[in-house]
Amino acid sequence: MASEGRTDTDTPRRIVILGAGFGGAYCAAALGKNLRGLNVEVLLIDRNNFFVFYPLLVEAGTGSLEPRHAVVPIRAFLKTAEFRMAEVVDADFDRRSITYRLVGGDDTQQIDYDELVISLGSVTRLPDVPGLREFGCQLKSLTDAVALRDRAITMLELANATDDEAKRRGLLHFVVVGGNFTGVEVAGEFDMFLRAAARKYRHVNQRDIKVTLVELGDRILAALDADLAEYAAAHMRKRGIDVRLNTTVTAIEHDRVTLSCSEQLDSRTVIWCAGIEPNPLIGAWPLPVDDRGYILCERDLRVKGIEHVWAIGDCAVNLDRDGSAYPATAQHAVQQAAHLAGNLAAVLSGRDPRPCNIKSRGALAALGCRTGVAKVFGFKLAGFGAWFLWRTVYLLKMPGLARKIRIALDWTIDLVFSRDYVQLGVHRTPREPADAAPTAGAGHNRKVAPPSGGA
């Protein structure tokens, strides 16, 4: 095992950041400014050399956006920090060292830290529903997004090739589980994608296509105001999306889904968007966690009871001044990242860290068909204006001018030309050992989260 530990006291102090998502990558970028004048080096570790801009993942999967444009190369993001594309495998909080394995390499390496930031995010929570791990799909990586799109096209091809109407409808029935932001956006965008794509298939009718959104609660979009959620549900139902409330899925088979009301739906595609859980590594480490396994932190973002360790983003419980946990969203992870960069600079300069007080700026959901709902800075909006705001906000939030321009071009082209309904080939059969090796995003996500199933 190689080691990258320090040998003398003159070497710079080192901050190691685990995970280059909204928390980790933004923290590393902010440290570039906060650490000016200090002899401190920053190392960011992630299994991918890109950071996934999750809010645009659904669009990347349904084709209004080139999939590559929904990710940002880490190195384009970093000015001063060093980056290692590696799988984090262990942490020793007494010795202050991290063990990782370079992606594509065999040996493990160790690196010591003075301060450690854990921002390893979350995985999709897959409860013990029979058939879910075998047949269910999820949307938590770029590979998942492309695989879902490929799957939708496979279903269209199969449906076009059969004279059996019942079979055709089963092939083109997509069931989305979970009526929060991701589930609603997946249902809305996939319904639109399937209906537009179906026009290219001579033997597929619009009435063959169905999307069912299944939600356990008594309304969708529980994090938004009730009137906006009602607008969203009414809009989706008007388009033919079957919104089922107070319902969940109790079993999934190859071609059938059983609901909690005992009804069975013919469907070959179930997309599970119902909840998250912390990165499984967290459970393997001696960290203080709540009853759901999230890392418990002090108000200044330090992990409770463990010196020199901080945690932000989806994997952590960080509390506001009223004692409520900040929601697991990108906007909160980014704000925590900026605050943490300031606190790290403070402690490394011998000053005290400050409690993290950040504000939610609002929430937006795109429903497909150029419609959305939004509540931003207390103002509510529904319809085209909310959808336009959704796109504008995420375009502005996307890091890098080049990326912004590419996305704006993708969206402009999408307004004028029809989309390409082609598969991107992630489903191909392995032909030789090198092909069988998992890709960076796919394989590792599969390792920590159970498989995305049929996709």
Ligand X SMILES: Cc1cc2nc3c(=O)[nH]c(=O)nc-3n(C[C@H](O)[C@H](O)[C@H](O)COP(=O)(O)OP(=O)(O)OC[C@H]3O[C@@H](n4cnc5c(N)ncnc54)[C@H](O)[C@@H]3O)c2cc1C
Which single residue is written with the structure tokens 């300069």?
Answer: 349
Of the candidate residues 67, 183, 313, 368, the single one contacting ligand X (CB under 6 A): 313
- Least Å distance, CB 135 to ligand X, is 20
The smaller minimum CB distance to ligand X, of residues 170 and 335, is found at 335
- Kindly state whether residue 180 participates in binding ligand X, applying the rule CB under 6 A: no
* Positions in 70-99 near ligand X (CB under 6 A): 87-88
- Kindly state whether residue 46 participates in binding ligand X, applying the rule CB under 6 A: yes
- Least Å distance, CB 416 to ligand X, is 26
The angle that helices 401-416 and 384-397 make with each other, rounded to 10 degrees, is 150
In sequence order, which residues have a C-beta less than 8 Å from that of residue 361 and are 6 or more positions away?
Answer: 331, 376, 377
Instruction: Judge residue 423's burial from the number of C-beta atoms within 10 Å of its C-beta, 0-12 exposed, 13-18 middle, 19 or more buried.
Output: middle
- Kindly state whether residue 47 participates in binding ligand X, applying the rule CB under 6 A: yes
User: By CB under 6 A, which span of 160-168, 313-321, 338-346, 406-414 interacts with ligand X?
Assistant: 313-321
- Kindly state whether residue 23 participates in binding ligand X, applying the rule CB under 6 A: yes
The two tokens of residue 51 are 């950071």
- Kindly state whether residue 333 participates in binding ligand X, applying the rule CB under 6 A: yes
User: By CB under 6 A, which span of 33-41, 119-127, 197-205, 224-232 interacts with ligand X?
Assistant: 119-127
The smaller minimum CB distance to ligand X, of residues 57 and 338, is found at 57
- Kindly state whether residue 121 participates in binding ligand X, applying the rule CB under 6 A: yes
Residue window 181-220: x/- pattern of binding to ligand X, with contact defined by CB under 6 A: xx--------------------------------------
Residue nearest to ligand X (CB): 21
Which chain residues interact with ligand X by CB under 6 A?
A: 19-24, 45-48, 51, 54-55, 57-58, 87-88, 119-121, 139-140, 181-182, 279, 281, 313-315, 328-331, 333, 448
